[in-house]
A and B are shown apart, each in its own frame.
Chain A
Amino acid sequence: MQIVIDHTTTYRYGDAPLRVHQALRLWPVPGGGQVIYEWRVDVDGRKIRPTSRDGFGNPVATHVAEGPSAALRLHVHAEVETLDRHGVVGHTEDSLPPAFFVHPTLLTSADAAILEMAHGTARDSESDVARLHRLSAAVRERIDYQPLTTDVATPAAEALAAGAGVCQDHAHVLLAAARALGHPARYVSGYLCASAEQIAASHAWVEIYVEGLGWVGFDPANQICPDERYVRVATGRDYRDAAPVRGVRVGGGIESLEVLVRVGDQ
């Protein structure tokens, strides 16, 4: 499937910021069933290229915006061809071994409720994949899709207790539960082309390491394994590692964020 992504993020600042530093993880690693025809990232019209990779293998770049501009516009334009691999990403060449991804993080530590959910859906007779599908479905059942109830710093346990959240909350809870069952699991940020002409947000889902298959994608928000409509961009232990944009700024008052993503089928 040919996918065109046009992703614009505009950061507005109440007062003119003195200086904004951002780290961008907006470039996919080639391979894994994705052919990249074009991938271009601009900040205020200036093209940015990744200059190194982080420990997870994600291409990264940083930029500094200085001076009295009261807004900052980030634009991603990409043309990608994808295949449906039924979620199976397989054995990727990573610097970090799957065993590293079994350890919880601050955002994905399992509390009693997550442990109960994880063990409640575990059935001995099932295959790992079947069990993980049930777990993914349980996460979706327990957390309603409700934007603006959580933010990127909301821990999994809190999102589950609130029973509401967005895709990164679904991902964090599934990560916490899968790791509690001993499965290495990682966070994926990327894009989802939900249907032609549709305007969607960038998306987040999970990959879980299953013996024999390698990494297998699970999208708890949509209760499926990622297919040809998904474009993988960055991975990490949780949102903090794989965030498309991390920023620090000096001055600038209150920051507001506007995102417009157009992921289209072509």
Chain B
Amino acid sequence: MTQASAPVFDEMHSDGATRAPYALIDAWLQALPPEHVALKRREAEEWFRRIGITFAVYSEGGDPERLIPFDLIPRVLAQSEWQRLQRGLEQRVRALNAFIHDVYHDREILRAGRVPQQLVLGNPQFRPEMAGFELPRRVYTHIAGIDLVRTGPDQYYVLEDNCRTPSGVSYMLENREVMLRLFPELFRRASVAPVAHYPDELLETLRSVAPVHCRGEPTVVLLSPGIHNSAYYEHAFLADEMGIELVEGADLIVRDDICYMRTTGGLERVDVVYRRIDDDYIDPLAFRENSLLGVPGLYFAYRAGNVNLANAIGAGIADDKAVYIHVPEMVRFYLGEEPLLANVPTFDCRKPDDLKYVLEHLHELVVKEVHGSGGYGMLVGPHASSAERAAFAAQLRARPHEYIAQPTLALSTVPTFVENGIAPRHVDLRPFVLTGECTRIVPGGLTRVALREGSLVVNSSQGGGTKDTWVLENDKGLD
């Protein structure tokens, strides 16, 4: 395992040379006058403000509607590199969907002892409401965001799977649009795989999982918790791009187990709900009774087979950070294949030996809450003070089953504009995997970049930025 002290792989410059996929970007950067850069950065910011792309960050003080910083230097993947990732992503998401179906039906993987029964049946993300329920095409995570990190030319790891309501795809789309507007000449010289068709692919995916008896073109809506949600911008953006209605709970009504949308012309039947509301809030008749965000009776319409939800209720059982440990085993168990994408070696703090190791090596590990997300509730050992580590150790001893730990990987870097020119910054990649009647992956995904020097935390809630992600259409002329 590569430790933080190990040499960092820079995706543009390695062994004193420019890597082939970055040849064009390198030449472009060298020819770019510094004053031009400042101008383009201001222009980019202007574009984002005009588009209205914001991201609310839940923290005290500051501007909650601040822009996520955007870096002008694209992150580039060769077609051959992407092909390999794409196969791995398809395989992993197929296994995740098979796992979720299995845990709500025959539980073969638990009976076979390949995943601990307790971990699934005692997990708050396991929803008994979903037991014994057949879903269209047996798909649970229709939209999966798989977070990948890279440590070398051929070393990729899955950091986590997001099987519930992964966000960020609007940044992928906007980043490309802004780059196209700012640097059209660059795209004339490079053949970059387009990403703009993502909303079409998403709509096709959602339509393909309409209830079996749905006749004609299925009606799809996007259900948002409303303007106070941090991802509301994305909800509005995607609904607009897909040409579907953006609705909130009060816009939908369930009668006789059929879901309708209120329109100026009366009630219109809804077949598929792309919901960006968590399970707990989706239906006060079935889950939290005090939820004002959801739709009373939606769960019952779903069980009656009259409406489909994407992603499925209960899909979160597959993205629990302790369940994550077992994903490679799921690939072997359900597909009979060797996993193409590796997991980060992970210590399961519920195991006494693992816990002991973690406590002794806190200074070199990343410790995460099993149910946490967004970079909250985690400790990056090498960057924490000894007081922070001591406080975290106490939490670990008190509730070991709530934590996992991983080695601090030397994440790859990509050159990034910083205050004094250009410097390498660590990145990750979140591709979006769509599953309906087939698997669709728009080339690339969202590259997040940790803007602080040496920082490994790329979450936008923790001061991360984004980059446009290029997948080259062909590798001709590359080594």
A and B are partners in one complex rather than unrelated chains: yes
Which residue of the partner chain, among A56, A99, A103, contacts B131 with CB atoms under 8 Å?
A56
* Chain A residue with the shortest CB-CB distance to B129: A55
Given contacts A97-B107, A99-B117, A246-B285, contact A60 B300 (CB under 8 A): yes
Bits for A32-49, please: 1 = Cβ < 8 Å to B, else 0.
000000000000000000
Task: Report the Cα distance A85→B133, complex, angstroms.
Answer: 31
Q: Once the chains bind, are A51 and B130 in contact (CB under 8 Å)?
A: no
B284 CB within 8 Å of chain A: yes
Contacts of B104 in A (CB 8 A): 55, 95
Q: How large is the interface on A (under 10, 10 to 19, 20 to 34, 35 or more residues)?
A: 20 to 34
- With an 8 Å Cβ cutoff, the count of chain B residues facing the other chain is 29
Contacts of B133 in A (CB 8 A): 55
Interface residues of A in 225-254 (CB under 8 A from B): 237, 241, 246-248
Q: Once the chains bind, are A103 and B122 in contact (CB under 8 Å)?
A: yes
Q: Once the chains bind, are B254 and A52 in contact (CB under 8 Å)?
A: no
Which residue of the partner chain, among A55, A56, A62, A97, contacts B297 with CB atoms under 8 Å?
A62
Q: Once the chains bind, are A62 and B300 in contact (CB under 8 Å)?
A: yes
Contacts of B255 in A (CB 8 A): 64
Contacts of A63 in B (CB 8 A): 256
B305 CB within 8 Å of chain A: yes
The smallest beta-carbon distance between B109 and chain A, in angstroms, is: 13
Contacts of B122 in A (CB 8 A): 102-103
Task: Report the Cα distance A61→B255, complex, angstroms.
Answer: 11
B253 CB within 8 Å of chain A: yes
Q: Once the chains bind, are A52 and B253 in contact (CB under 8 Å)?
A: no
Contacts of B105 in A (CB 8 A): 95
Q: Once the chains bind, are A52 and B131 in contact (CB under 8 Å)?
A: no
Q: Once the chains bind, are B285 and A62 in contact (CB under 8 Å)?
A: yes
Given contacts A56-B131, A64-B297, A103-B122, contact A248 B284 (CB under 8 A): yes
Q: Once the chains bind, are A100 and B128 in contact (CB under 8 Å)?
A: yes
B257 CB within 8 Å of chain A: yes
B286 CB within 8 Å of chain A: yes
Given contacts A52-B305, A246-B289, contact A23 B128 (CB under 8 A): no
Interface residues of B in 93-111 (CB under 8 A from A): 104-105, 107
Q: Once the chains bind, are A55 and B128 in contact (CB under 8 Å)?
A: yes
Task: Report the Cα distance A63→B255, complex, angstroms.
Answer: 7
A57 CB within 8 Å of chain B: yes
Bits for B125-154, please: 1 = Cβ < 8 Å to A, else 0.
011111111000000000000000000000
Q: Once the chains bind, are A55 and B130 in contact (CB under 8 Å)?
A: yes
A53 CB within 8 Å of chain B: yes
Q: Once the chains bind, are B300 and A52 in contact (CB under 8 Å)?
A: yes
Q: Once the chains bind, are B304 and A103 in contact (CB under 8 Å)?
A: no
The smallest beta-carbon distance between B104 and chain A, in angstroms, is: 8
Q: Once the chains bind, are B121 and A103 in contact (CB under 8 Å)?
A: yes
* Chain A residue with the shortest CB-CB distance to B314: A55
Contacts of A123 in B (CB 8 A): none
A21 CB within 8 Å of chain B: yes
Contacts of A247 in B (CB 8 A): 285
Contacts of A246 in B (CB 8 A): 285-286, 289
Q: Once the chains bind, are A23 and B303 in contact (CB under 8 Å)?
A: no
Contacts of B130 in A (CB 8 A): 55
Task: Report the Cα distance A60→B128, complex, angstroms.
Answer: 15
Q: Once the chains bind, are B128 and A62 in contact (CB under 8 Å)?
A: no
Task: Report the Cα distance A19→B289, complex, angstroms.
Answer: 15
* Chain A residue with the shortest CB-CB distance to B253: A64
Contacts of B128 in A (CB 8 A): 55-56, 96, 100, 237, 241
Listed residue (A61, A94, A100) with the most chain B CB atoms within 10 angstroms of its CB:
A100
Q: Once the chains bind, are A52 and B257 in contact (CB under 8 Å)?
A: yes
Task: Report the Cα distance A51→B254, complex, angstroms.
Answer: 13
B296 CB within 8 Å of chain A: yes
Listed residue (B130, B256, B296, B305) with the most chain A CB atoms within 10 angstroms of its CB:
B296
Task: Report the Cα distance A63→B305, complex, angstroms.
Answer: 16
Q: Once the chains bind, are B121 and A97 in contact (CB under 8 Å)?
A: yes
Bits for B279-311, please: 1 = Cβ < 8 Å to A, else 0.
000001110010000001100100111000000
Q: Once the chains bind, are A60 and B254 in contact (CB under 8 Å)?
A: no
A116 CB within 8 Å of chain B: no
The smallest beta-carbon distance between B169 and chain A, in angstroms, is: 31
Task: Report the Cα distance A96→B120, complex, angstroms.
Answer: 12
Contacts of B107 in A (CB 8 A): 97
Interface residues of A in 63-104 (CB under 8 A from B): 63-64, 94-97, 99-100, 102-103
Given contacts A62-B254, A99-B121, contact A23 B132 (CB under 8 A): no
List the 5 closest pairs (A to B, CB-CB), nearest first: A95-B132, A95-B131, A55-B131, A21-B296, A52-B303
Binding site for A on B (CB under 8 A): 104-105, 107, 117, 121-122, 126-133, 253-257, 284-286, 289, 296-297, 300, 303-305
**Known interface pairs A51-B256, A51-B300, A55-B130; 20 further A-B residue pairs with C-beta atoms within 8 A, sorted by A's residue number:** A21-B254, A21-B296, A51-B304, A52-B305, A54-B129, A54-B286, A55-B104, A55-B132, A56-B128, A61-B300, A62-B285, A64-B253, A95-B104, A96-B131, A97-B107, A102-B122, A241-B128, A248-B284, A248-B285, A248-B289
